[in-house]
Amino acid sequence: MATPHNQATKGEIAKTVLMPGDPLRAKFLAETYLENVKQFNTVRNMFGYTGTYKGKEVTVMASGMGMPSIGIYSYELFSQYGVEQIIRIGSAGAYTTDLKLRDVVLADSVWSESNYAKRQNGCEDDVMYPSKELNEKIQKVAEELGKKVILDRVHSSDVFYTEDNVDTYADIYRKHGCTCVDMESFALFHNANVLGKKAACLLTISDSLATGEEASTMERQTSFTDMMEIALNASI
């Protein structure tokens, strides 16, 4: 059963979906790690693939940028394709010098000033939480793989470019305890909570607002492999 945004038919999508924002990161992950890969979606170039990893069926599908985009794709995956859990694998900007480029952050909560949840179902909460069970599994897998993950609160923002009359990254860190920023996880967690599904968010630090460092575009597509391998092994 296709939707306006996803041409997959019933049975082409696994129960677990890994969801990067970047379609080319989805393509890289599928081609690098999965076997018996089948591409099921090209609508709007939001690539989706299903294959096997260590014998277990796994789907990887891009979400695009921002809460409206991941809001559409995750809601459809949960409600129309029978997906039980989504692990977002994205990039984030650091708000503190304690986080270095390529550090992997596992969101233990997400704060946002977005009105996504209020518009979606009237929820006025400004903090969303991941699946405790899924987070614990990700932490266990990371430990078994010898890969470090940092448990932190994430700021999920609707805005990439801001003016000088609003809170800075340092203000948000001080007021809300957010150590890094993405643009999707708040909507993902909200949708999972509304629909009784599981969601988690792994983020690789791609740039730092605190130091000015940043990874290249190609590095963001292909070099964040620790995050990918943790998510893959947590999905089986």
Under 8 Å between Cβ of 122 and 55 = no
Candidate list 103, 152, 207, 226, residue with the active-site label: 207
- Tokens 């306006």 correspond to 4
d(CA 198, CA 170): 31
Helical H segments across 34-66, by residue range: none
Under 8 Å between Cβ of 170 and 129 = no
DSSP state of 206: E
Q: In the annotation, is 207 catalytic?
A: yes
Catalytically active residues are 207
